[in-house]
Amino acid sequence: SAVISQKPSRDICQRGTSLTIQCQVDSQVTMMFWYRQQPGQSLTLIATANQGSEATYESGFVIDKFPISRPNLTFSTLTVSNMSPEDSSIYLCSVIKAGSGANVLTFGAGSRLTVL
Amino acid sequence: QQQVKQSPQSLIVQKGGISIINCAYENTAFDYFPWYQQFPGKGPALLIAIRPDVSEKKEGRFTISFNKSAKQFSLHIMDSQPGDSATYFCAASMNSGYALNFGKGTSLLVTP
């Protein structure tokens, strides 16, 4: 299975600032996603990161708030813009690797953001 | 709107006991039901999954029971061990797609 590295692993941010989270995979993957895991809540899909084109966002998430890049098959970034305390959450990168089975998601360890 | 409802929110089981976590869904188009296990500080990892053409799937001490008519599925952990202490998420997707709808999770503690 793919090995995913996320940076930063955690951060404390000030209201109104933006933070970019990086996701690096050790091998080429077919699909990359970004999830949010709020305290005591389930995992919610934010968007699918598409290589070389705009990400596909789920209902309730917009590009202005969560811009995403995916310049190649192994790397993606998620930016949380103009943060508020409600954005305090764990942000998880996940991937599907070709040949792993259509639905086998592998997750990174997550980036825990606290917004003051 | 929560498409997959999971219970209980937390569970304490003695070592050697059986842990049971239940999930229910409404969308009959769901056709893939995985369970993920998450340890503190780690991302969720696929534990076991089932499709609706079978009623039960077993992998070691972990078993999924699936009741299509009741739109329910459950995870049974036999001979629970302290190392099984983690958060467990059920999920569902349709058309065997990648867009998983997760339950809210169950925090399991297995006491020695």
Q: Which residues of A touch B5 (CB under 8 A)?
A: none
Cα B39 to the center of its chain, rounded Å: 14
Written as six digits, the tokens of B52 are: 């609706």
Average the pLDDT over B61-88 and give the result.
97
Written as six digits, the tokens of A3 are: 């090995």
pLDDT tens, residue by residue, A19-71:
999 999 999 888 899 999 988 788 999 999 988 889 999 999 999 999 999 99
Q: Which of B4, B41, B46 faces A105 most closely, judged by CB atoms?
A: B46
Q: Which of A31, A43, A58 faces B44 most closely, judged by CB atoms?
A: A43
Distance CA B62, CA B9 (A): 19
Q: Is the pLDDT of residue B96 over 70?
A: no
Judge whether A110 is closer than 8 Å to chain B, CB to CB: yes
**Range from A84-98, A99-113, B60-74, B92-106 that averages highest in pLDDT:** B60-74
Q: Which residue of B has its CA nearest to A4?
A: B43
Written as six digits, the tokens of B21 are: 């976590």
B2: confidence class by pLDDT, cuts 50, 70, 90: confident
CA A14 to chain B, closest CA, distance in angstroms equals 23
Q: Which residues of B touch A50 (CB under 8 A)?
A: none
Residue A99 is predicted with a pLDDT of 66
Contact yes or no for A43 and B41 at CB 8 A? no
